[in-house]
Chain A
Amino acid sequence: MSGKGMNLTLKIWRQKNAQSKGKMETYNVSGISEHMSFLEMLDVLNEQLINEGTEPVAFDHDCREGICGMCSLYINGEAHGPDRGVTTCQLHMRMFNDGDTIYIEPFRAKAFPVVKDLVVDRSAFDRIQHAGGFVSINTSGNTQDANAIPIPKADADKAFDAATCIGCGACVASCKNASAMLYVSAKVSQFALLPQGKIEAKERVLNMVEQMDEEGFGNCTNTGACEVECPKGISLENIARMNREYLSASITKES
């Protein structure tokens, strides 16, 4: 692609605030370069709306390089859009064609109420972490030497892979039950795989799962849609590990 760039029709969810009802609105943009990121394309639209004297579309974003987990967006029926292994901010317009109509909606889930337009409230995710997403160790620095406990590289690597979850919520948005199992299992797994995390493993999994249920996330029925849409490739293995952890913790809980 070169020269004039693409002309696109955008169907975007507009909603004034949490209380009001929203609806899809239609906009046109032109001259979109294939090298633009998806959010840069929305910047072009917003600049246009501001110049016309109307309100720009609100959407969440910050790092614009796939790591902060702030951007969301449900694009053409997929969380983070058609590309795999990327967040919305990493999605590039070369994935689209001149003349396309693109549907842009917020992440939808009961536990993620819409704040405005495409912005949703994901604070339920934080509350799950408050319930157990930590190792109870003080920040004194007077712990033992970092190399005192060797950790098998394979375990360390798996813990790392689980820990790369960015907390974006695409797993929830992609799941027909709006389950948060992939997200919660990523944290539970990270700690379960490390000697430092094992000590509180039981309380952790019980408390985090309890909070997850309280927040109104749905049940997991193993459809695997979450893994497909997860921009960080968080594996379903983590859910299996969490289920094992949960089961053994429930059995030995109070006896």
Chain B
Amino acid sequence: MSVLDAKIPEGPIKDKWTNHKNNINVVNPANKRLIDVIVVGTGLAGGSASASLAEMGYSVKSFCFQDSPRRAHSIAAQGGINAAKNYQNDGDSVYRLFYDTVKGGDYRGREANVYRLAEVSANIIDQCVAQGVPFAREYGGLLDNRSFGGVLVSRTFYAKGQTGQQLLLGAYSAMNRQIGKGKIKMYHRHEMLDLVIVDGKARGIIARNLITGEIERHSAHAVVIASGGYGNVFFLSTNAMGSNGTAAWKIHKKGAFFANPCYTQIHPTCIPRSGDYQSKLTLMSESLRNDGRIWVPKNMEDVEAIRSGKLKPTQIAEENRDYYLERRYPAFGNLVPRDVASRAAKERCDAGYGVNQTGEAVYLDFSSAIQRYGKEAALVQGEKNASAERITELGEEVIKSKYGNLFQMYEKIVDDNPYKTPMMIYPAVHYTMGGIWVDYNLMTTIPGCYAAGEANFSDHGANRLGASALMQGLADGYFVLPYTIGDYLADEIRTGPIATDSPEFDQAEKDVNDLIDKLMGIQGTKSVDYFHKELGKVMWNNVGMSRNAAGLTEAQEKIRKIREEFWKGVRIPGDRNELNPELEKAIRVADFLELGELFAKDALDRNESCGGHFREESVEESGEQKGEAKRDDVNYKYVAAWEWTGDPGQAKLHKEELEFNDIELKQRSYK
């Protein structure tokens, strides 16, 4: 028997959540006031949770490291959010969203959680519209939808290429209402650096005021970690510069199991890297694959001519282009899931067909869509004899109205006009499906400590479908956690305020102070970024899109070595009692240097290919699926939850066996 109890409610899958809500404890409104909840993070998950909990009556303290809760990384999400509304009447349903998500995750997610996610998805849209979130609309005044990868229906709601911004500003506004009422106390420019456990329960956190450097104690009856993903372990990713794994890692070291760390999403459509100075990578939303077609030249001479600047992509004739996704996956074409699209791009580039100087880029081409939309618009506007230029002009306007900000972003970075020449794109690290292990109630293995949003592991299995992270963040925060946390807090109504002068708080504060003193005291010769980049290189080369046993073993050794060098050689200028961005980075990188090792260990341990985790040892050898990832359900149909033992290389594995009662396990085919 595993020590892990997922606490999945009994009953048929479609009744589980309703029954569970009916059976769990609730706290009476008068008592809620006496209960404090800490929420670390103000992204979609943390922001929506803080607002909802405060509204229900709890006293909430929220934390973020940015200068305002509105700047959490969720703000950057571009393409959209899924919901099973079936407004397009294309056969969508809760079951279909559930099915697509489980299949998309390559059957490595937890069925009951995913079903609940699909079930509450429709409420999210209702809620956001009521809050004044300006989603895109059709001319009739109703909400518009677009399609995302890995599905055959149109269920994605969006606000141009700024969906995350609009949803986050919705959650931020709900928070503001509660901050104004004094129900949420907001601590911006604060970084949580440890969890405090008293008598086995999460009772507070230690945080650093980033302006003054002061170390503060904050107590509560429950702690929610909604600190986002850890994609920046690769140094280069589409995440914001500050996104980090520290909050999750600190609770891991205090007893929360870390699940499936190796499940990372490498997003197929990002702007290729341009030089060593590069500080981050920029996503071009998956929504672009609704209208963009991906290709490389068929002939090597054309590739060479393009690289040497002798030929432009627009000069290559249709028959000399290889639309490799349409060729390999006729059913889904350009809308295959991300893991599949990324590997296919890598395959073409590894074969030598990459179209830029580094050989790591493919085209994303809008010319067909511009023509199609242009002709349609001309007809609608009654311009029967529109000229070719006029059609192009009209078509470009349509594209602009759908993706204007993305095209502008591209043009500013690359200095090339994507309306006229195809975009160049390449895969980049984007999202982490792995994270803190949680049960059905979103509680970690530490009583009273919860994890929500990208910080937890639960819903996306080994590969997340596009537009599902925003859905999960808001589902967790608005609709799941506010119920499930009550079940735990119902036993806390007589506890009274949690004191911060206990020995446990003393110790946790001392640990944080010691850590900072130790870092400041090294006074080595190399910057924090130097070590972060070294780690990133190992992660990308050995633990990236394609992994094998030798490379993963080597990665663990190399990371250990970089970690040792970091603790001997890092230089942090300035003082600890002031705003010190280098110190902030150093604390985060110290944790990445441990997390990275566990990541590689987990990837080595999972000797199968599933979703974004591709093991070269596990590939289909023959038949229609030749060359595709080969899952191993006999040996690996489990969640790998790792327990901290004092050394990431010695973490102890616990398995949560996954059961699939409502969906048949199948080879995932998008052919």
Chain A residues at the B interface, C-beta cutoff of 8 Å? 16-17, 33, 35-37, 39-40, 43-44, 47, 49-51, 53-56, 58, 60-70, 83, 85-86, 90, 92, 94, 115-116, 119, 121-123, 125-126, 129-131, 133-147, 150-153, 156-157, 159-160, 163-164, 166-167, 190-191, 194, 196-197
Of A50, A56, A164, chain B has the most CB atoms within 10 Å of the CB of: A50
A130: chain B residues at CB < 8 Å are 176, 179-180
B282: chain A residues at CB < 8 Å are 64-65
Question: Could you list 24 examples of A-B contacts with CB < 8 Å?
Answer: A17-B578, A33-B275, A36-B277, A37-B279, A58-B579, A65-B76, A65-B280, A67-B76, A68-B66, A68-B71, A90-B409, A133-B173, A135-B132, A139-B55, A139-B478, A146-B85, A146-B143, A147-B87, A150-B137, A150-B140, A156-B136, A156-B137, A160-B134, A163-B166
Kindly list the 4 A-B residue pairs having the minimum CB-CB distance in the complex, ordered from nearest: A150-B141, A141-B123, A134-B173, A160-B134
A121–B139 Cα distance when bound, in Å, is: 42
Query: Which single residue of chain A is at the shortest CB-CB distance from B572?
Result: A50
**Residues of B407-451 contacting chain A, CB below 8 A:** 408-409, 412-413, 415
**Residues of B47-81 contacting chain A, CB below 8 A:** 48, 51-52, 55, 66-71, 73, 75-76
* Chain A binder among B157-165, B456-464, B652-660: B157-165
A122: chain B residues at CB < 8 Å are 67-68
Known: A39-B279, A143-B127. A129 touches B67 (CB 8 A): no
Nearest Cβ on chain A to B295's Cβ, whole angstroms: 25
Known: A141-B478, A156-B134. A64 touches B280 (CB 8 A): yes
**Residues of B559-605 contacting chain A, CB below 8 A:** 571, 573-574, 578-579, 581-582
Query: Which single residue of chain A is at the shortest CB-CB distance from B124?
Result: A141
**Residues of B108-128 contacting chain A, CB below 8 A:** 120, 123-128
A160 & B130 in contact (Cβ 8 Å cutoff): no
A53: chain B residues at CB < 8 Å are 571, 573
- Is the C-beta of B30 less than 8 angstroms from some C-beta in chain A? no
A40 & B579 in contact (Cβ 8 Å cutoff): no
B177 & A70 in contact (Cβ 8 Å cutoff): no
A53–B128 Cα distance when bound, in Å, is: 50
A54: chain B residues at CB < 8 Å are 573
Nearest Cβ on chain B to A158's Cβ, whole angstroms: 9
A159–B134 Cα distance when bound, in Å, is: 6
Query: Which single residue of chain A is at the shortest CB-CB distance from B144?
Result: A153
A63 & B415 in contact (Cβ 8 Å cutoff): no
- Is the C-beta of B305 less than 8 angstroms from some C-beta in chain A? no
Q: Which of A56, A92, A125, A197 contacts B581 (CB 8 A)?
A: A56
Known: A69-B70, A122-B67. A40 touches B573 (CB 8 A): no
A164 & B165 in contact (Cβ 8 Å cutoff): yes
A147–B87 Cα distance when bound, in Å, is: 9
Beyond A64-B240, A90-B409, A146-B125, list 6 extra A-B contacts (CB 8 Å).
A36-B277, A67-B76, A69-B71, A142-B123, A156-B141, A163-B134
Nearest Cβ on chain A to B118's Cβ, whole angstroms: 14
Of B68, B129, B134, B176, chain A has the most CB atoms within 10 Å of the CB of: B134
- Is the C-beta of B527 less than 8 angstroms from some C-beta in chain A? yes
- Is the C-beta of B12 less than 8 angstroms from some C-beta in chain A? no
A150 & B409 in contact (Cβ 8 Å cutoff): no
Query: Which single residue of chain B is at the shortest CB-CB distance from A128?
Result: B176
Known: A135-B131, A160-B160. A90 touches B174 (CB 8 A): no
Q: Mark B130-154, 1 if CB is under 8 A from A, else 0.
A: 1110111111111100000000000
B140: chain A residues at CB < 8 Å are 150
A58: chain B residues at CB < 8 Å are 579, 581
Query: Which single residue of chain A is at the shortest CB-CB distance from B525?
Result: A51
Query: Which single residue of chain A is at the shortest CB-CB distance from B177?
Result: A134
- Is the C-beta of B529 less than 8 angstroms from some C-beta in chain A? yes
B51 & A139 in contact (Cβ 8 Å cutoff): yes
B129: chain A residues at CB < 8 Å are 143, 146, 196
A91–B280 Cα distance when bound, in Å, is: 14
A123 & B123 in contact (Cβ 8 Å cutoff): no
Nearest Cβ on chain B to A53's Cβ, whole angstroms: 7
A197 & B277 in contact (Cβ 8 Å cutoff): no
Q: Secondary structure of the A side of the interface?
A: loop
A62 & B166 in contact (Cβ 8 Å cutoff): no
Known: A85-B408, A123-B68, A141-B479. A151 touches B141 (CB 8 A): yes
Known: A146-B85, A163-B169. A60 touches B180 (CB 8 A): no
**Residues of B234-275 contacting chain A, CB below 8 A:** 240-242, 274-275
Q: Which of A47, A146, A166, A191 contacts B126 (CB 8 A)?
A: A146
Nearest Cβ on chain A to B417's Cβ, whole angstroms: 15
B67 & A60 in contact (Cβ 8 Å cutoff): yes
A166: chain B residues at CB < 8 Å are 165
Query: Which single residue of chain B is at the shortest CB-CB distance from A62?
Result: B240
A92–B651 Cα distance when bound, in Å, is: 44
A61–B282 Cα distance when bound, in Å, is: 15
Query: Which single residue of chain A is at the shortest CB-CB distance from B48?
Result: A139
- Is the C-beta of B188 less than 8 angstroms from some C-beta in chain A? yes
Of A70, A139, A147, chain B has the most CB atoms within 10 Å of the CB of: A139
- Is the C-beta of B211 less than 8 angstroms from some C-beta in chain A? yes
Nearest Cβ on chain A to B454's Cβ, whole angstroms: 15
B324: chain A residues at CB < 8 Å are none
B278: chain A residues at CB < 8 Å are 40
A166–B526 Cα distance when bound, in Å, is: 35
A125–B176 Cα distance when bound, in Å, is: 11
A131–B177 Cα distance when bound, in Å, is: 8
A147: chain B residues at CB < 8 Å are 87, 142-143
Query: Which single residue of chain B is at the shortest CB-CB distance from A130?
Result: B180
Nearest Cβ on chain A to B510's Cβ, whole angstroms: 26
A153 & B176 in contact (Cβ 8 Å cutoff): no
Of A62, A133, A145, chain B has the most CB atoms within 10 Å of the CB of: A62
Nearest Cβ on chain B to A198's Cβ, whole angstroms: 10
A164: chain B residues at CB < 8 Å are 162, 165
A50: chain B residues at CB < 8 Å are 527, 571, 573, 582
Known: A143-B127, A163-B169. A51 touches B527 (CB 8 A): yes
A34–B215 Cα distance when bound, in Å, is: 41
A32–B179 Cα distance when bound, in Å, is: 44
A139: chain B residues at CB < 8 Å are 48, 51-52, 55, 127, 174, 478, 482
Of B179, B240, B277, B571, chain A has the most CB atoms within 10 Å of the CB of: B277
A36 & B275 in contact (Cβ 8 Å cutoff): yes
- Is the C-beta of B172 less than 8 angstroms from some C-beta in chain A? yes
Of A49, A121, A190, chain B has the most CB atoms within 10 Å of the CB of: A190
B68 & A126 in contact (Cβ 8 Å cutoff): yes
Query: Which single residue of chain A is at the shortest CB-CB distance from B171?
Result: A139
B582 & A35 in contact (Cβ 8 Å cutoff): no
Nearest Cβ on chain B to A166's Cβ, whole angstroms: 8
B73 & A123 in contact (Cβ 8 Å cutoff): no
Nearest Cβ on chain A to B211's Cβ, whole angstroms: 6
A153 & B180 in contact (Cβ 8 Å cutoff): no
A159–B129 Cα distance when bound, in Å, is: 12
Known: A35-B275, A139-B51, A153-B141. A66 touches B66 (CB 8 A): no
